[in-house]
Chain A
Amino acid sequence: QQQVKQSPQSLIVQKGGISIINCAYENTAFDYFPWYQQFPGKGPALLIAIRPDVSEKKEGRFTISFNKSAKQFSLHIMDSQPGDSATYFCAAMGIQGAQKLVFGQGTRLTINP
């Protein structure tokens, strides 16, 4: 059972455009929502994260929008650059137990120059 659903699977955006990746979750016990960025041949690295007490978090060109009532969150990349081409994973973690991350399926983002 996929607890975090991510879309789209792949995305092509022109340089300078806005990239948007969406995730939906089911478990209302989740309280930490990170996005990881992965370049080919590398391990994932934390990009940006949010907790449910805020609806938006911005770091440079990267913004997370969070909708608690809809159980959805999204990553927006403004002024997308070819160097942003990578696979992006959303994830969620709860406050109970060992606080394990549950990942979405991943989105392969390509920014065309």
Chain B
Amino acid sequence: NAGVTQTPKFRVLKTGQSMTLLCAQDMNHEYMYWYRQDPGMGLRLIHYSVGEGTTAKGEVPDGYNVSRLKKQNFLLGLESAAPSQTSVYFCASRRDLNTDTQYFGPGTRLTVL
């Protein structure tokens, strides 16, 4: 099993450009999460999903949209990138409500100029 994979690994955008980050998991997990990691701030939850077709806002959702059309994929979109969205983005998955462990992907480093 590949676990949780993220595409791309690195990306540089100009202010105002859009892009989509892809997260895929092959563990048949119900829950998926998108976090951003910034120095000194830990990981902050952007959006999450508790199952195929569902999404919900996390702690810092502004400027981001998500979709979970297939159970194994969770997409994070930036419609109009801003320098404040420069960060490392991590996706995570969790089997279901009866388990606690979240499994993280390797991350995507995004720079917005």
Task: Give me the 7 closest cross-chain CB pairs, A-B, nearest first.
Answer: A43-B104, A103-B42, A103-B43, A105-B42, A44-B104, A43-B106, A46-B101
- B106 touching A9 by the CB < 8 A rule? no
Query: Which residue, of A9, A34, A42, A43, has the highest number of chain B Cβ atoms within 10 A?
Result: A43
- Chain A residues close to B by CB (< 8 Å): 4, 6, 9, 32, 34, 36, 41-46, 49, 89, 93, 98-106
Q: Is there a chain A Cβ closer than 8 Å to B74's Cβ? A: no
Given contacts A104-B42, A106-B40, A43 and B100 within 8 Å (CB-CB): no
Report how many A-B pairs have Cβ atoms within 8 Å: 55
Q: Mark B55-95, 1 if CB is under 8 A from A, else 0.
A: 01010000000000000000000000000000000101000
A-side binding surface: helix, strand, loop or mixed? Answer: strand
- A43 touching B42 by the CB < 8 A rule? no
- A32 touching B42 by the CB < 8 A rule? no
